[in-house]
Homo-oligomer: A and B are copies of this chain.
Amino acid sequence: MRKTSFVLALLLAGQLTVLGQQTETVGKSPWGSDDEIGSLNLMSNYTRFEVLSQIKSGKTYDLSVDYFVGMPSFHSLGDPGYQYWLTHTPNGTAVDNPNGLGKAMNRKVSYTGDAISMYTHMGTHIDALNHFGLNGKIWNGFTPEKHLGDKGWKKTGAETIPPIIARGVMIDVKSSKGIFPENYRITVNDLQDALKKQRLKLQPGDFVVMRTGQAEFYEDANHYLDNYPGISLDAVKWLIEEQGTMLLGADNLSFEAFPPEREDNWVPVHTYLLAEKGVMFIEQMYLEELAKDEVYEFAFIAASLKLKGASGSPLRPLAIPIKSE
């Protein structure tokens, strides 16, 4: 019953169109001309409760990396890396006396404050639908001329992304396949093989996360950024169009691998998911603990910061094991 209604919704959404389409154009949302969240419309109180009620333990897996100066960053196009700085320190406060209360007070009350700055696509984060569009439009036809101000998009900004509670499935391609060639593109077969070994089937509405093992190198930015594997366009189309996946994730920098598969598009997986299909995804996740414990099925709970107008947002997702159906 439940799966049937999902599939219907997806069909309406045009998610299950014929594999191999070649024209690239922004999708029109089946959830209406005001829709800003695409496939996340598939969530409901019902779907959330279904997964929450299957939780079988209090063991919680933290799927986020740390934020630190020097962490990996998509910096090749000039984006700012992560910066952290102290705005107040115990000794500095005593020297500066910023509150005017004097040295004795500021020696007693030892104040530490700090600030950060960062590109929004750093660390474990979700891509909003406006991150990549096609031919001057984003998902559902919104345009920069009308909807892009100096403080970001008036439509599909990160503040519109709802908290996510869904069944999560990790496909541990790393464990299944071993070492990847440089810049390897993970295929449909790779996903199917891993799922078979894990004895798991995907369901419409799932959060599906692919493990490449790359997060093992997160502390060493050069290594992490170096020729990492990513998903192929076919594999991502299989997930969306045949499996009805609601949300995707991976543990590498950019989900897809470089160089791109299409000559006429430098990020074809990004534009396919965000602009054509209205499907978001989470990058730079930390999956090593899940893999070690062979936890492949879980309640996935994640809530990104509501950065108004933003093209992405950091979050710290959790996985809690559930009973298999």
Contacts and interface: CB of A to CB of B under 8 A. Distances in A.
B52 A320 contact: yes
A64 interface: yes
Nearest to A52: B55
Given A47-B58, A92-B149, A116-B307, A99 B66 contact: no
Contact of A154 (B48, B91, B95): B95
A289 interface: no
A16 B141 CA distance: 49
Count chain B CB atoms within 10 A of each CB in A66, A68, A109 and give the residue with the most: A109
A113 B151 contact: no
B66 A45 contact: no
Given A87-B78, A115-B120, A150-B86, A264 B46 contact: no
Nearest to A65: B306
A201 interface: no
A244 interface: no
Contacts of A48: 58-60
Interface string A34-63: 000000000011111110110101111010
A85 B306 contact: no
B135 A110 contact: yes
Contacts of A105: 264-266
Given A108-B264, A135-B107, A311-B112, A151 B84 contact: yes
A152 interface: yes
Interface string A297-309: 0000101111111
Interface of A is mostly: mixed
Given A84-B307, A109-B134, A152-B84, A49 B55 contact: yes
Nearest to A71: B308
A150 B58 contact: no
A308 B67 contact: yes
Given A58-B50, A87-B79, A131 B151 contact: no
A133 B24 CA distance: 37
A310 interface: yes
25 contacts: A48-B59, A48-B60, A60-B162, A60-B165, A62-B162, A64-B303, A67-B159, A67-B305, A80-B87, A80-B117, A81-B81, A84-B309, A85-B87, A93-B149, A95-B147, A95-B148, A95-B150, A108-B265, A110-B132, A110-B135, A112-B138, A115-B120, A116-B307, A123-B305, A303-B317
